[in-house]
Structure 1
């Protein structure tokens, strides 16, 4: 496995299933979360053994979508989280590349990676909020091509000094450089969902694949296709984990996951590991987020 940085190694450097948790860690998904509470919970999650903290990229708030992520701008938020944690990986889930200039992304991401001592892992996406594209004067039909151009430029800007490159974003003629460079040779990129690309493209150009929750039978077929195309490159997924008070409770489907007892979730995570999933991004809804994080770590993950 390539050693891109400390964050990638934390998530994918062993055969164990690793687990991260997504911001906001409090219940504030449509309004600004309390920053002190979020950072306290981030440190608590790290102390419990969670392997990553993932931040959303939501350029503009659309009430109809009903989710503003952690509301704060992704790079600023992860820099703040880096200052309040020690070793946990820091992830983006996921940066909407067609709505950002790739040179800005290259500089911002490398800055966070440096400030966190190489802990940044980047989920990257094409976006899914229709009104954002005209707001940024981006043709939604161009998302796939813009995504590919951005990935190519990010790699070039991180790996080369004073690069030459050209695209719809502009051109570099060798007189300018993007600094700082990442802590390692590059920053790992995990295309998210299909990102309007083929699995073959994602397998060749990505450093792993970040996907949404899928039923187990469908997940198995996706993993088979991924392994055939990507070999041992990692597969990560998102699942909503709503722990019932009764540890023996059977699962009930919820959006992007399940509500179930801890015994069922422990078995489910063992099944994910056996199927070949490398990392899971969980969420812990509830009125007492500190308690829910602790329950998930102690009652489920320790059993796995």
Structure 2
């Protein structure tokens, strides 16, 4: 087998939905003109006591059994008090491997893995391992990083994160291609070696988060999907503006094929189903009843959104109660796609 050498950051590019249509994780979440629901972890906000996460994996198993499309974890290597958010605390890849053993169908998603901080060999090794252990359920939101304190801790320059992100994406994809690799890039040199394992069901889908320091044309050419904040959730102009942004991105996609869009919202789901959408904590949290939530999700679907990850860590109701209401009253209107089951992996 001949090795392949390349040093351009422009290849390989992103793949269309058709290229991932048999990938269990991607297909469970995405289809044209449809919207599915995921849940962001943690289910309760960390305020200095790890016990807030007690029992969370059991609830994730319940989220899986109830038919949600995805469980999302964040990649926050260091806690910066100025941000006030430690994510789900656990390393995202270790935790997803643990959750893979506790779930059966749900997609396992990163939102988002910081490609600018981590070496592509380590990213590829961890990602392919989880994809194999889960039967092809890994979908990766990826980003360049927004916490300046982390970059000098890794010996990196914060102002170089955009260039490093683009290079890491290219190297990550090459490392997971079939066969041995000879790879030369600013991030390292490989001669006639192979990274194992390979993914279970073809290339691992990469959803670029926001701009990640890249141009709109780069995102259109290289992303397997796009993950962005939704903008305003309390006025009709918000979903309309989001739809225009999504369409402008899709108009730039070189082959004109479908690429999915995903967004997220932190909600306080109140027990009054008629409660109108109300912004709390400077707009960071959306307090809402299920009727208004269903209406908002429908507007986002019309705008071209294909998946919404809901964070309930700030909800004042018990997590299990909020999950039950979402599963019974909201999820049936936005069902997950069941036609490509996970691969049967007996490790």
* CA deviation map 1:213-261 (0-9, x unaligned): 3122331221121221234100000112222222111111234452122
Partners of 1:110 and 1:103 lie apart in 2 by 11
**Aligned residue in 2 for 1:208:** 225
What TM-score, normalized by structure 1, do the two folds share?
0.94
Partner of 2:306: 278
Asked if 1:154 is matched to 2:180, the reply is no
Corresponding position: 1:218 with 2:241: yes
2:147 alignment partner, one of 125, 129, 145 = 129
Structure 1 SS opposite 2:55: helix
**CA distance in 2 between partners of 1:197 and 1:33 (Å):** 39
Distance 1:33 1:182 in 2: 34
Cα deviation code 1:187-214 (max 9, x no counterpart): 0000101101112111111100011131
Q: Which of the numbers 326, 329, 345 marks the counterpart of 1:299?
A: 329
- Residues 30, 69 of structure 1: 8 Å contact kept: no
Higher relative contact order (CA 8 A, sep 6+): 2
Which residue number in structure 2 is paired with residue 183 of structure 1?
200
Q: 1:43 aligns with which of 53, 61, 69?
A: 61
Root-mean-square deviation (Å): 1.7
Aligned partners of 2:116, 2:162: CA distance in 1, in Å? 8
Q: For 2:211, which of 194, 197, 212 is the aligned residue? A: 194
Partner of 1:75: 93
Aligned residues: 303
Per-residue deviation, 1:143: 0.7
1:11-31 deviation line (CA, Å, top 9, x unaligned): 114643111001112333654
Q: CA deviation at 1:65?
A: 1.1
Q: CA deviation at 1:33?
A: 5.1
State the distance in 1 between where 2:203 and 2:197 align.
12
User: Higher mean Cα deviation, 75-84 or 218-227?
Assistant: 218-227
CA distance in 1, matches of 2:243, 2:28: 24
Cα pair 1:23 1:70 within 8 Å, conserved: yes
Unaligned runs of 5+ in 1: none
User: Gaps spanning 5+ residues in structure 2: where?
Assistant: 1-17, 233-237, 335-347
Please report how far the alpha carbon of residue 302 of structure 1 lies from its aligned counterpart in structure 2 after TM superposition: 2.9
The answer to whether the 8 A contact 2:45-2:52 is kept is no
- Residue 245 of structure 1 aligns with which residue? 271
